[in-house]
Amino acid sequence: MTGSALIISEIFLRLADTVGILERIFFVVLLVRIVASFFPPRTEGIWSSIAGFSVRLTEPILAPIRRRIPLMGMLDLSPLIAFFLVDIAGFLLSTLFVYLARL
């Protein structure tokens, strides 16, 4: 491999790692949102800020899922579906980047 091919390969491998990191961060933020739905903040403070931040980050993904999947009683399945969809998307992107790095 030439020097430029090695650099491109390294870039794709770093992108695959970045996808994995972003996927884990999203899972943590989504988990915080789920916990915040059970324990909503009562006053302004750090928990209120964290809960609001998690809502702002996850709502663009959860809203379209919620429009297509009806509630089951009082149970919202959109976070569970988002977990699966983000996991699948992360796997596909990471696999694609690793594949491109090996070309």
Amino acid 4: pLDDT: 87
Amino acid at 95: T
Please state the domain extents for the chain. Answer: 3-102
Tokens 């379209």, residue?
A: 64
**How do the pLDDT tens digits run along the chain, 103 residues long?**
678 889 999 999 999 999 999 999 999 999 999 999 999 888 889 999 999 999 999 999 999 999 998 888 888 899 999 999 999 999 999 999 999 999 8
Distance CA 15, CA 11 (A): 6
- The 3 state secondary structure assigned to the chain is CCHHHHHHHHHHHHHHHHHHHHHHHHHHHHHHHHHHHHCCCCCCCHHHHHHHHHHHHHHHHHHHHHHHCCCECCECCHHHHHHHHHHHHHHHHHHHHHHHHHC
- Tell me what pLDDT residue 1 has: 66
